[in-house]
Amino acid sequence: MGKEIKFSLVFRDMWQSAGKYQPRVDQLVKIAPVIIKMGCFDRVETNGGGFEQVNLLYGENPNNAVRQWTKPFHEAGIQTHMLDRALNALRMSPCPKDLRKLFYKVKKAQGTDITRIFCGLNDPRNVIPSIQYAKEAGMIAQASLCITHSPIHTVEFYINLAKTFIDAGADEICLKDMAGIGRPESLGKIVAGIKAYNKDIIVQYHSHAGPGFNMASILEVARGGCDYIDTGMSPLSWGTGHADIIAVQEMLKDAGFKVKDINMEAYMEARTMIQEMMDDFLGYYIPKLNHLNNSLLVKPGLPGGMMGSLMTDLEDNLKSLNKWKVKNNQPELTTDQLLVKLFDEVAYVWPKVGYPCLVTPFSQYVKNLALMNVIQMEKGKERWSMIAENIWDMILGKSGKLAGPVDQVLVDMAKAEGREFMTTDPQDNYPDNVETYRQKMVEQGWEIGQDDEELFEYAMHPQQYEAYKSGAAKAAFEKDLEERKSKANAPAEGAEPKQITVTVNGQSYKVDIAYGAQPAAAAAAPAQGAAPAGEGVEVLAPLEGKAYLVSSPSETPKKVGDQVNEGDIICYIEAMKVFNRIKAEKTGVITSICFASGDSVSEDDVLMTIA
């Protein structure tokens, strides 16, 4: 019998790669014993980037979820692991050092054994401190090589990067093939090279099925000496997700590797339970296209973990764009047409912004930049006419060193806007601030939480945590879910009557009938909590999203009566996981603010008026 290869079930990523949300804690606790009963998993991915934000979004406490979810696996001797974003920890934006250190202490106390540390720029300055902080907290530090395919990202590049992480104290190495575009033979060579450098280092391989390479890649990394393989399971395997455990286990067993058997009765029970979760509410956020493999993904290299939410969010982008097209007497786009335009633009943009690996947050940055380019060009505007501040931070090196050079067009734009490129340690840009949040919690009368976990959650996700505490997040989620259910349950187009005639007291009336949410009416309505429009020039929302007066507690929100100058930042729209700055287009006084922070706004909604 050949080398033993162990399996991990990436349960968190299965859901994130499929759609927008994770199961509730009651659902997680119910399925945990069944996963254990399957008998084939030595590790389970329980939490990490994306997991906690979505808990907050539908009004559930993520700290309680993590504690309850990890407990049964510990009792069964199965290791739990999570995904973390190095400098960004669990969020899209960089974190201060004190928050990063608190992160590992909290997660260890909550029951997470292994942290998978990754930086989409593969910058050791971002990863190595996290290795140290994780080990100090008692966690197993697994450093990731973010895999992509470019002239820069060679076999030698990755072997040397792994050596750097091992020398810095990494306990394990992960090949994080987040888009599934790593070429099988090259991946096998990378693993073999790592093992040649340190035969005892644990190597784990993570891949997505979408482009079609990953079964061949799994076989090649196994032959190169890989120790753990990440897998998914039906009905959330393949497509934008991961290879199914059954196929992987049979393939490796046939190739002579020692692998654990699968309790198929438990597998079918877990499969049924996952389907029940989808039928309950999670399936309303899983687009059908995400069930399919798509080799078009080879070109843009977008990661499976992002494709889940991308396809859901794209519905809103398309609706907003087509609304503009109808208003301007232009033909509407289909989802497929917009998707192909987006894929082509990602492939165009990616090298021009220095080949960042397309993984969170940089996959979202590149995708968002590409999508904004597409939308602006569809409206007859220039490419690069709307670049969010987070994206500029990436381009300028504020988040770390890019693998390749930035295109001269963007260099010239930065110079014209007075922006400077940076080469200093990215952490220097983000001063400590945990105590600021501790004081804010004291002022609010909020509990700091066991092991400071509520403090950690607030400091990590300020806007989402406040929306969770106020109940606004739960209300918004329930409203959105109800609309999706209504839409899904409406009669098929063409099957329902559009108009009927009713007679009341001998008088006939024609009545229009519509099913589900009515986008046109919603678009015409003002944002919740909107103030009456004042006199002056209207500041219109350039895209759909959630409007905020500030993006962090350190900013002072604008108010009616404030004097502003042309070019001043007056508010933000959070869309596609980034805050887009909205600037004053004239000097004057704010005469009205037409939204409450956190309100959803549509493109061309009035945000403020300036006179």
Which residues neighbour 408 within 8 Å (Cβ) at sequence distance 6 or greater? none
Q: Are residues 430 and 362 in the same domain?
A: yes
Radius of gyration of the chain (CA): 25
- Of 122-131, 168-177, 574-583, which range is least confident? 574-583
Q: Are residues 208 and 319 in the same domain?
A: yes
Q: Are residues 25 and 151 in the same domain?
A: yes
Q: Are residues 261 and 368 in the same domain?
A: yes
Distances in whole angstroms, Cα of residue 77 to Cα of each of 9, 10, 82, 206 = 14, 17, 16, 22
Residue % of the chain over a pLDDT of 70: 91
Q: Work out the pLDDT band at 532, boundaries 50, 70, 90.
A: very low
On the question of pLDDT at 529 being above 50, the answer is: no
Higher pLDDT, 191 or 390: 191
Q: Are residues 537 and 465 in the same domain?
A: no
In a domain, 109, yes or no: yes
Q: Which pLDDT belongs to residue 385?
A: 86
Q: Which pLDDT belongs to residue 544?
A: 80
Q: Work out the pLDDT band at 596, boundaries 50, 70, 90.
A: confident
Expressed as residue numbers, the domain containing 153 is 1-491
On the question of pLDDT at 567 being above 50, the answer is: yes
Tokens 């959630």 found at? 546
In a domain, 497, yes or no: no
Cβ-contact 459, 437 below 8 angstroms: yes
Cβ-contact 556, 571 below 8 angstroms: no
On the question of pLDDT at 40 being above 60, the answer is: yes
In a domain, 204, yes or no: yes
Mean pLDDT of the chain: 89
In a domain, 480, yes or no: yes
Q: Which pLDDT belongs to residue 552?
A: 75
Q: How many domains does the chain have?
A: 2
Q: Are residues 198 and 281 in the same domain?
A: yes
Q: Which pLDDT belongs to residue 1?
A: 65
Q: For position 546, which CATH number holds?
A: 2.40.50.100
Higher pLDDT, 406 or 602: 406
Q: Work out the pLDDT band at 530, boundaries 50, 70, 90.
A: very low
Q: Work out the pLDDT band at 384, boundaries 50, 70, 90.
A: very high
User: What string of DSSP letters covers 419-439?
Assistant: -----S-GGGGS---HHHHHH
Q: Are residues 386 and 243 in the same domain?
A: yes
Q: Are residues 465 and 561 in the same domain?
A: no
